[in-house]
A and B are shown apart, each in its own frame.
Chain A
Amino acid sequence: MAQVELAGIERIFHLGDAEVHALRAIDLTIEAGEYVAVMGPSGSGKSTLLNLLGLLDLPDQGTYRLEGRDVTSLGPDQQAAVRSGRIGFVFQSFHLISRLSAAENIALPMTLAGIPPETRDARVRQALIDFGLDARADHRPDQLSGGQRQRVAIARATIMQPAILLADEPTGNLDRATGHEVTRLLEDLNTRGTTLIVVTHDPAMGERARRRVLMEDGAIRRDERPTPP
């Protein structure tokens, strides 16, 4: 059983009278622990695919099985629970809450899940050390550098120990050196077993992924799998 199984996915947006076929006939299977780069020009449906994988969006047709369970038929609260426990998001613009400290931002998914404060504090402390942020725990996002912000965001995305990490242009707002640093961080997480799915424009990052899914006009044009050694 694959971790992610998409079959016959269609997603159509209505913009006034026009219909935009954002995803068409998508069949995609991803095993646990894979490192996948989703690439393609703007408007090719990469982000829509990522939102769908993260249960932020629902397909108009087709089925999405996550860990063997058909998640398209789940109710909104059950989908929220799946997002909470199984999926981590990393965004291009970090999406940190500016009034919360780094530690509070990292703790947010646990706070929302109702995990008791003692457990939260212990795990946040460990995450701050793991991501080299222990000196920045009480800093607010506007007191952090871009790289530090993205590290906080990644710490937040992984604090619930999700099975899948979805990253939408995670290095898009960072300079080259910082971008590399963040990429390595994500790859480290992948090496330790988390499935990593990255949407990127950056060919360099795409090169590093073991599997590349190339999209065009809402369809998968090419799926370059690693050849088994």
Chain B
Amino acid sequence: MRLLDTVRFAAGAALGAPLRTALMALAMAIGVAAVVILTALGDGARRYVVGEFNSLGSNLVIVLPGRTETGGLGIGGLSATTPRDLTLEDAAALLRAPGVVRIAPLVVGDAEISTAGRLRSVFVVGTHADFRQVRQVNVAQGRFLPDEGLRHGGNWAVIGATLREQMFGAAPALGAHLRIGDRRFRVIGVLEASGQGLGMDMDELVLIPAPVAQAMFDTNTLFRILVEARDRNAIPTVKREIERILRARHDGESDVTLLTQDAVLGTFDRILSALTLAVAGIGAISLAVAGILVMNVMLVAVAQRTSEIGLLKALGASAAIIRRSFLVEAALLSLAGAAGGLLIGYAGAAALRVALPDLPADPPAWAVLAGLATALITGIVFGVLPARRAARLDPVEALAKRH
């Protein structure tokens, strides 16, 4: 039997039972649509996170005290010496490294703040004027911390948007006095509302000059140093320079960890890609369920068309022809379902994009291809058993069966 004739015969047989065919195609369509929409969601989330990270500026190197680099314990990791603290002097030294544009030291701690009878505990970040460019934060009112060098600072405070709301309400915040711990500060700026970033809520913190924060928390160490490289290509050089400078300053010990946005980004990328694969797998389960439906429906088809199969055998059809005809029918049903599923999936992804404009929920090409291939393979694999059953029917008994 010619391939085209087989396809036409199988298509005719499938259309001969429209309800059965439609239901099965629908089951397959739901499976494929699930894969398309779930992967669109997963991949959209990945691209959203990657995009957000990129918008933070990818030229950033973060210096942490202590050697906590992943990748196993190096010789340094086994040394008994406790790591030296990072200091403002270290930060100032880094500024001299080639390729470094700006740095922002970070001193952090919790403190009570109060004004006009309102009291609450806040997250205080001591930093430098360059923090604004390094972290790309915008000031909504007033101005950011003035550049007074790394070692000096006045009692100025820049506060987050939510904090302004809570502490001042409708009253003007700019120029107002704020008690932080046991010191009095003047509010010179309010940040734009921006939400979460790098593990701190920018809307609920107070920024003050780093030396003031060190004095307030009675410490001379830094939580981290943010270093901005000239551009992305300068990052390897900058990392090497930071290592060299800090080793020289720390008696020849490499006792800092350097994080780059790329590394953080890579981790997130990997996690979210794995997540996308996982949801694709969940979608594939529904395809497997659809496959079992395919098998069920094809078994019913074999039972209903028993006398037809007997006739085909009497007319000289070999077992191979009958097997192929039923397999092609299962494959056609799966393909039709998959095509419908693609339509539903793309429509669903488009609806997601409308509902969540921030999320670039486009189904990735690999997922679409994988969904189609899985549908087709499922249809054929689960079509094998019914097709073999049809081909093995005894022609005499099959012919004797009434329609």
Residue pair A56, B318 in contact (C-beta under 8 Å): no
Contact pick for B319, options A54, A77, A84, A85, CB 8 Å: A77
Docked CA distance A159–B15 (Å): 26
- Size range of the chain A interface in the assembly: 20 to 34
A99 proximity list for chain B (CB < 8 A): 12-13, 15-16
Contact pick for B315, options A51, A84, A100, A114, CB 8 Å: A84
Whether A111 is near chain B, meaning CB under 8 Å from some CB there, is yes
A81 proximity list for chain B (CB < 8 A): 316, 318
Which residue of B is nearest A52, CB measured?
B396
**B298-322 interface bits toward A, Cβ cutoff 8 Å, 1 = contact, 0 = none:** 0000000001101111111111110
Residue pair B13, A114 in contact (C-beta under 8 Å): no
A87 proximity list for chain B (CB < 8 A): 316
* Most B Cβ at <10 Å: residue of A93, A95, A109, A160: A95
Q: How far is the CB of A173 from chain B (nearest CB, A)?
A: 13
* Most B Cβ at <10 Å: residue of A54, A80, A85, A114: A80
Whether B369 is near chain A, meaning CB under 8 Å from some CB there, is no
Whether A57 is near chain B, meaning CB under 8 Å from some CB there, is yes
Docked CA distance A131–B5 (Å): 25
Whether B399 is near chain A, meaning CB under 8 Å from some CB there, is yes
B319 proximity list for chain A (CB < 8 A): 76-77, 80
Whether A83 is near chain B, meaning CB under 8 Å from some CB there, is yes
**A51-90 interface bits toward B, Cβ cutoff 8 Å, 1 = contact, 0 = none:** 1001011000000000000000000110011011101010
Whether B9 is near chain A, meaning CB under 8 Å from some CB there, is yes
Residue pair A54, B314 in contact (C-beta under 8 Å): yes
Residue pair A160, B399 in contact (C-beta under 8 Å): no
Contact pick for B396, options A57, A100, A117, CB 8 Å: A57
Beta-carbon contacts under 8 Å, A110-148 to B: 111-114, 116-117
Residue pair B315, A112 in contact (C-beta under 8 Å): yes
Residue pair B313, A80 in contact (C-beta under 8 Å): yes
Residue pair A83, B12 in contact (C-beta under 8 Å): no
Q: How far is the CB of B332 from chain A (nearest CB, A)?
A: 15
A20 proximity list for chain B (CB < 8 A): none
Q: How far is the CB of A164 from chain B (nearest CB, A)?
A: 13
Docked CA distance A56–B400 (Å): 12
Whether B354 is near chain A, meaning CB under 8 Å from some CB there, is no
Contact pick for A156, options B308, B310, B315, B317, CB 8 Å: B315
Q: A91-B399, A114-B2 are in contact. Are A109 and B315 (CB under 8 A)?
A: yes
Tell me the B residues contacting A by CB distance below 8 Å.
Answer: 1-2, 5, 9, 12-13, 15-16, 307-308, 310-321, 395-396, 399, 402-403
Tell me the A residues contacting B by CB distance below 8 Å.
Answer: 51, 54, 56-57, 76-77, 80-81, 83-85, 87, 89, 91, 93, 95, 97-100, 108-109, 111-114, 116-117, 156, 160
Given contacts A111-B5, A111-B9, 12 further A-B contacts (CB under 8 A): A51-B395, A76-B319, A83-B315, A84-B316, A84-B317, A95-B307, A97-B308, A97-B311, A99-B12, A99-B15, A108-B312, A108-B315
